[in-house]
Amino acid sequence: MPERRTVALVTLGCARNEVDSEELAGRLAADGWDLVHDAAEADVAVVNTCGFVEAAKKDSVDALLEAGDLKGQGRTQAVVAVGCMAERYGKELSDALPEADGVLGFDDYADISGRLQTILSGGVHAPHTPRDRRKLLPITPAERQDSQVALPGHGDALASAPADLPEGLAPASGPRAPLRRRLDTGPVASVKLASGCDRRCSFCAIPSFRGSFVSRRPSDVLGETRWLAEQGVKEIMLVSENNTSYGKDLGDIRLLETLLPELAAVDGIERVRVSYLQPAELRPGLIDVLAGTEKVAPYFDLSFQHAAPAVLRAMRRFGDTERFWELLETIRSKAPEAGVRSNFIVGFPGESEADFAELERFLTGARLDAIGVFGYSDEDGTEAAGYPGKLDPDAVAERLAHLTPLAEELTAQRAEERVGGRLSVLVERVDAEEGVIGRAEHQAPETDGQVLLTGSGCAGLVPGRMVEAKAVAAEGVDLVAEPGPAEEEAP
């Protein structure tokens, strides 16, 4: 009997990439590959790269080089690059990085098993030629659903799943339902709501290599959520490049408002979280559902990016400090303890000292739970890369160095405001050294801090358990809380 083929998936970047890796894992498992966690124990190491910003691209290259070092030392025979950086650069990445035995684009995902087998057998699969994937789909959103363009995380419209799937593999529940194999056993999983983006932010290259916006059908999202619940998942996080656009290509821009209660009602699911919301598209009805639906986290991941009007217009975005504050006030009037996070770019071309001061003014009054701050750098193929008024890199670094500690101080102050309040905490891990670690409703996985549970109420807690707790201290953005029932109100 021939020895089983083994493959390890190394995932970098965002939660969307994690979903894509689990689709690749599902396709490979269905074709008889054994999945292993350690690249050193795999015949093929597949690195799912990120191609968003320079730092992420460097991390991807480092991961490919690290995997390449394994060749000739043990079992590893080949290293293959997939994901956004591979899709974005194709042959250019292949030529620059001979350590990668293959550079595969999204169009290769449907036959990932065959591609890896060819490479493992010593064959050559030519790296793909990058294309602007926006041009592959119809301009009219309603015409995109029947397209045969490869959409990672959406499945394959032409392929059908094997009749006898291995245990732990998601069954196909529709023509676009992807195969999926979980790569960890934690109680949280992401579910892809859509792919691509129709916005044209001048600093962002993502639409060019991820394509135009395409929603997944509600039945497929529900089917995958039910399967994840059967695998022990308690919290799902809906991800895409822009969740507020969900449904526009299905004829109902308010489709998310009706889908969320259905997802929250799935047996076994304790929390539904929505990420990646555009402030300019955040409808009153969606705010109401996010703020007032049982088991839907009152959590708002808002892509503000800046607060000075001139900078926002140059970014091809909308809003200003007062409008953003008004939006936050509306959210908190409906859900006073709602969690809010956002990312910001400093040093954008043309950003004046007054613009930078305006961003600082906004942040000081916004009371955000989590703040990401990034220094501007040119991205290939973006409109902003050709803008005049570029700031000196030292000036960008200086502004970043000024704003980063302020953001840390402001988010620590916001965490302090939560001390004394009640938290619904999902236990994520129980560690002999760290203790019992979980996350509250206002904390998304990996980005927004965590909760350390202490006290006698921790006895018997296991990952996946949802507990009520009282916040007793703050440590930066992290909270310390004691499990226990809510105190009865005095008569």
| Under 8 Å between Cβ of 263 and 236 | yes
Helix (H) or strand (E) holding 238: strand 235-239
Q: What does the alpha-carbon distance between residue 370 and residue 375 come to, in Å, rounded to a whole number?
A: 17
* Other CB atoms within 10 A of residue 30 CB: 19
- With both helix axes pointing from N to C terminus, report the angle between 255-264 and 218-230 in degrees, rounded to the nearest 10: 20
* Residue 458 is assigned to a ligand binding site: no
Beta bridge partners of 10: 47
Helix (H, G, I), strand (E, B) or coil at 45: strand
Rounded distance between C-alpha atoms, residue 434 and residue 423, angstroms:
20
Q: Which long-range contacts (CB under 8 A, 24 or more apart) does 139-142 make?
A: 141/198, 141/212, 141/213, 141/248, 141/249, 142/249, 142/250, 142/251
Structure token pair of residue 125: 């699969």
End-to-end CA distance of the chain: 75
Query: Are the CB atoms for 31 and 159 separated by under 8 Å?
Result: no
3-state secondary structure labels for all residues of 389-418: CCCCHHHHHHHHHHHHHHHHHHHHHHHHHC
C-beta atoms surrounding 14 within 10 Å: 20
Beta bridge partners of 181: 169
Annotated binding site: 14, 50, 84, 197, 201, 204
Annotated binding site for [4Fe-4S] cluster: 14, 50, 84, 197, 201, 204
